[in-house]
Amino acid sequence: MTRVFSGVKPTGHLTLGNYLGAMRRWAEVDQHQADALFCVVDLHALTVDHDPARVRRLSRQAATLLLAAGLDPQLCTVFVQSHVDEHARLSYLLECVATDGEMRRMIQYKEKAAREQQRGGSVRLSLLTYPALMAADILAYDTDEVPVGEDQTQHVELARDLAVRFNHRYGHTFVVPRATAPKVAARVMNLQHPTSKMGKSDDSGPGIVYLLDEPDVVRKKVMRAVTDSGQEVVYDRQGRPGVANLLEILAACEGGDPEQLSGAYETYGALKKDTAEAVVELLRPVQERHRELCADPAYVEGVLRAGAEKARKMARPTVDAAYRAIGLLPA
């Protein structure tokens, strides 16, 4: 059976981008068709300036939202990264296989390092080595497929390269993984800045639809989305990024093709109205389930405890094998 691994980072409230680009597919497809693990990757949240209490709160919220989005602990493994030591253990070995140059080439590193500096902060070393930890997350579980949004494919490519290099130098140890992206909404853009990704830790609140936004807040954000001065509704990602983003969101919510959908609209207003309602309806069941789960925190904690135990058992043999292969004395 195909092994699937993916995760969300508790650096902010989860967004429509996280849901359409990744979580929905995990719940609707991956957990049914594969041996799947989904993780709240909290160690990654420490790579930028952070508040400990907020990371704890967001980690709990992210885990609850994964379950609210439909992940079923009977079908897949849901856990928190820092509860399984194997991630950090393997990350160090992969840092010994990766090069400084390939870490510095990562787009996310360049963007986030620039943002930290703009905010007057310093760049943490862990931001540079982040892809080694992400590679460890993936390789520890003999993962075949990593379902992610487009923004994460470069990191998965690096995990592939590290697996191949490690296997070549030290003997076959890791399965070589591949990234898979959804057909529509692989990159949901910020509603106010439609040439930038909708990112959960961005400063632009009005451009980001959060999964827990009230329906009226969602409507307001979508109705105020930046489009352009044109009149015609056409699907053109380069020339009309704002309209294209709305068409992609609508297509992802309702099924269908953004280009075809564009033919059904004569005004931007009508497109925005339908998109807003489609997003409200998409989020309604997730928000309802989230409310129920919040009333039962012991259930969520139990899921995470059992998930970590299962994940630990799965990761340990591969990580132990990597320790032996690279030349470390068995304990």
List active site positions.
112, 197, 200
Cβ-based nearer residue to ligand AQP, 212 or 326: 212
Q: Name the minimum Å distance from CB 231 to ligand AQP.
A: 27
Q: Is 269 annotated as a binding residue?
A: no
Site string for ligand AQP, 151-170 (x = CB under 6 A): xx------------------
Residue number of the CB atom closest to ligand AQP: 21
18 binds ligand AQP (CB under 6 A): yes
Cβ-based nearer residue to ligand AQP, 199 or 241: 199
Cα–Cα distance, 22 to 15 (Å, whole number): 11
Binder of ligand AQP out of 4, 9, 63, 180 (CB under 6 A): 9
Q: What is the 3-state secondary structure (H, E, C) of the chain?
A: CCEEEEEECCCCCCEHHHHHHHHHHHHHHHHHHCEEEEEECHHHHHHCCCCHHHHHHHHHHHHHHHHHCCCCCCCCEEEEHHHCCHHHHHHHHHHCCCCHHHHHCCHHHHHHHHHHHHCCCCCCHHHHHHHHHHHHHHHCCCCCEEECCHHHHHHHHHHHHHHHHHHHHHCCCCCCCEEECCCCCCCCECCCCCCCECCCCCCCHHHCCECCCCHHHHHHHHHCCCCCCCCCCCCCCCCCHHHHHHHHHHHHHHCCCHHHHHCCCCCHHHHHHHHHHHHHHHHHHHHHHHHHHHCCHHHHHHHHHHHHHHHHHHHHHHHHHHHHHHCCCCC
Binder of ligand AQP out of 4, 5, 17, 174 (CB under 6 A): 17
Binder of ligand AQP out of 8, 67, 127, 158 (CB under 6 A): 8
Site string for ligand AQP, 27-46 (x = CB under 6 A): --------------------
Binder of ligand AQP out of 21, 194, 242, 307 (CB under 6 A): 21
For ligand AQP, the binding residues in 181-200 under the rule CB under 6 A are 186-188, 197-200
Binder of ligand AQP out of 43, 148, 158, 283 (CB under 6 A): 148
Q: Name the minimum Å distance from CB 321 to ligand AQP.
A: 27
227 binds ligand AQP (CB under 6 A): no
Q: Is 10 annotated as a binding residue?
A: yes
Residue list, annotated binding site for ATP:
9-11, 17-18, 149-151, 188, 197-201
Residues of this chain that bind ligand AQP (CB under 6 A): 6, 8-9, 11-12, 15, 17-18, 21-22, 148-149, 151-152, 186-188, 197-202
